[in-house]
Every structure is written in C-alpha cells, then in structure tokens.
Structure 1
Amino acid sequence: MRMACLLLFLPFMASAAPLLRGEGVATTRDGAVAYREVHWQRGAGDAAERWVHYLCPDGQPFARKHMQVNGSAQAPSYRWEDRRSGQTASVAATGGVVQLNWKEDAAAKTRAQRLPLPADAVIDAGFDAAVRAHWQQLMQGERLSLQFLVPGRQRYYPVQVQRVGSIRWQGLDAQSIQVQLDAWYGVVAPRLALVYADADRRLLEFHGTSNLRDARGDYPVVTVRFAQKAVERPQAQWQAELQQVLVPRCIATRGGS
C-alpha cells in the first residue's frame, strides 16, 4: 500500500527543466519548531509541477503533496498524504469541475464530491499564483475577492485579499498582505497574514491556521518562514527525498507535533 501511494507522487517521464528546492520552517506561538517544509518544483513559474515534503523537527518526513496544473495556475490539482493521521486527499481540477476525494483520518471513510470550478476559484498553493497575477491591483489598494476551496469541508469559502502596506522583512523590501473571511468557519480562520518579497513576489512568511493536524488532532496556528530562495539541485537528491518512507509519528518536542 505504501508503495502504491508513493507511485502517485512519481512523474511518468523525466523532464529537462531544472529542479528547484526551497525550505520553510513552521513554528508555533511559543517559538518551537512544529515542522519543516521542503518544496521542489520542476522549472520556474506558477504552472510548474511541484512536490512538498513535510518533515518532523528531527528531519523525518511524515507527509507529502504533489501538485500539477491542468488549467489555471491558481487552481492546481494535487494529491496529499499525511502518514501520522492517515489523512489523504485527491483534488482533480480540470474541464471546469473539481473532483474531490477526502479522508480525514485512518478511521474515516473517503468522502467524494464533484463541484463546479468558478473563474475566481483558488486551490491550495494556487493562492500564491493568484496574488502574483493580481499584484498590480493589490499594490494599488484594490481588494481581491476569491473563492478558496477547503477540501475537508468540500466547499468554497469567500475570501478577501488586500495589501496592508510595505515592510522590511529580514533585510528585504516586502509587502504585507491580509486574507480575511467574514466569519469563523470551524477550522477555517477568518484572517491570515502573508508577506511577499518586492523583488520577485515570492512568499516569505505565512501566519495563520496550519493545514496540518498536530498530535492532538487540532489545526494549530503557525508561522512559516521561507528565508532563502529556492535553488537548483540535482535530480538524484529529488528522487532520494521523494522515495523516503513517511513515518507514522514525530518524536515529541516542546510545542511540536
């Protein structure tokens, strides 16, 4: 079964495009490292194929995501597996519809849903593509309205995206961006704080409710910082990391998962 799941994340054909690797560190309110994110992408641009590995504080991988763009870059398809909880997801966005398959944990049944894909829909990391696509409007003070898909709830939630102002972030010129809902929707927080670099419009920091459950089954508030740009790395390293077996639990650390 594990091998079958792993094959979902392996491409069918090699590509000549370079592989870029970047890392982010997620911390909890008390400053403890909750987990780390390793982001791989094949080539540059928002339409690039992407993989994300989620690591325990000690470096062992516990979750994995694979994203591909079949249409709009702000609405990618993806597959997801969290070995700790048994949570899995398959989101296929193509032909104006989204097919969802969601399993909350190892004991739950898979729930399937088919939804329309509106033009202003945003799926997962496609949110970054939406911000970059509407950068000039945001910098001019316009408010961006989007429909954000929450697969676990199998519905869209209306969000408002707006520039807060210019800031300095670890020596970089950057923009503070706020994402807001009208009200609480269970685990979906009404406000997220994001920071994007002026120079290349890359995400530097995320502050808000994590999409990863912790050891208590909660979705904690985290700050994820991406201090360094993604750099080109060899395919052998990508393959080695992709083939690591996901662990069922992380070693307990202060404030960690």
Structure 2
Amino acid sequence: MTEGRFEGRVAVVTGGAAGFGRAVGERLLADGARVVLVDRDAEALTATAAELAERGPVRAVRADVSQEAEVAGYVAEAVREFGRIDAFFNNAGIEGRMAPITELSVEDFDRVIAVNLRGGFLGLREVLRVMKEQGGGSIVNTASMAGIRGSAIFSPYVASKHGVIGLTRCAALEGAPYGIRVNTIAPGHIDTRMARDLTVQVDPDDPQGAYERAVARIPLARYGTAEEVANLATWLLSDEASYVSGATHLIDGALNA
C-alpha cells in the first residue's frame, strides 16, 4: 500500500457491499480517496458504508447496475457529491445458475448477461463520458479467469466475462486519446461468498469436497483473498500503472499458467 496515492481523488466502486468491492473500497479510502459505494443490496451496502466511514469520506448509493437509469443515477450522484470521478472499479456481478447449455432457460442466460455484461457496459459508458469531459481517469473492470477459458455447465457466466474483456479492449482504445486507462482483472478461485456458493452448485452433497478438489488444482495450493485482489485492482487504478491499459490481468495462483 502506498499512503496517500489517491489523495484528493474520487472513486466509484460497484458491487461495493462485499467481496472484491468492499476490499477495494476499503483500500481506496486508506489511500486517501473519497469513495462512492454502489450495490443493489441496500441493507448490506448501508452496513458496509457505515463501517468504512471511519476510514474516510464514503457515500452509499443503492442501484441495480443492469438498469440504465440507475447507472446514470449513481454516476450523477458521485459527480454531484464529489465533483468528479477519477477511478472506477466496475465490479458488480453475479454467478447465475450452473447447468449444461441444453438445460438453461433464456431467463437464466439473460439474468447473468444483464448484470455482468450490460451492467459493465452501462457503467463504462456513463463514467467514460465524465472522464472524457474532465480529461482523464482510470477504470478497472472485473472479469474472471472464466473470461479467458471455457467451463462446462457455466456458459452464461463465461460468456459474460469474455464480453467484459472485449469491452475493456474497446474502451481502452476509445479512452486513450483522453488520458483514460481501462484494464481488466481476471480472478481465479478467491475466498468470497460467490466462490462458496459455487462449490455448493458444483457438488450440493459435498461442497467441502468441491472446495478441496479446486485447491488441489491450484499451483499455489490455496484460494486467494479479496484483499489480494484489491492489491491488484488499486495498483491498476493508481498512477503507478500509468502506462498499463487495455490488458487483462490474471490473479489465480498460477492456475492458468
């Protein structure tokens, strides 16, 4: 951690109530940023914002990232509250239902795409408009190792995360003339609520066994932590990564090496 590297800057974090979002929000506050946390879970968001308020200026905005008006609303609220947006962690996502393609409904597919891909697009669009006007900024989108590989019985999520990586590349090219950097993080197995829920879907009768089998495949022999993801995401958002844009950064304990 570099003390004060976000001093005087404004950051927006979606999916900010828990997991990667909370960890990144906490790190940004510790490094001097003013932070807007966005989540659709109002109760969890309020509790997280109250806890993190001891570390610095934080504003909680309840929004569903799949809804165009609500995305425009959280971006407008950030600008109204703090005057600008210097860093954007475009992170909100869901895992959806795991099943073979032949057993998925259109509703299963659309639900995941709406949050993970359309929500990512909407956030990018609105924040890029602000950053172009102000003359720069940095964006980190959350994909997954599922964005660079296939995975049986997980097709909506895999498709959505491949899409996030594609959006990142396009946004990096469009943002570069305005001093805007856009990157993607691609986490592997990280110890979060989503990861724990996925082990239940993989093996409802023995989720602990599913977890242990996953660990056995990881060269570093453990799940990562949300704090380790925050280390990467906040570095990419900072000026320390000033020549890094358009890239996808795996954080997976060498699983995809």
TM-score, normalised to structure 2's length? 0.30
Greater share of helix residues, 1 or 2?
Answer: 2
Higher strand share: 1
TM-score (norm: length of structure 1): 0.30
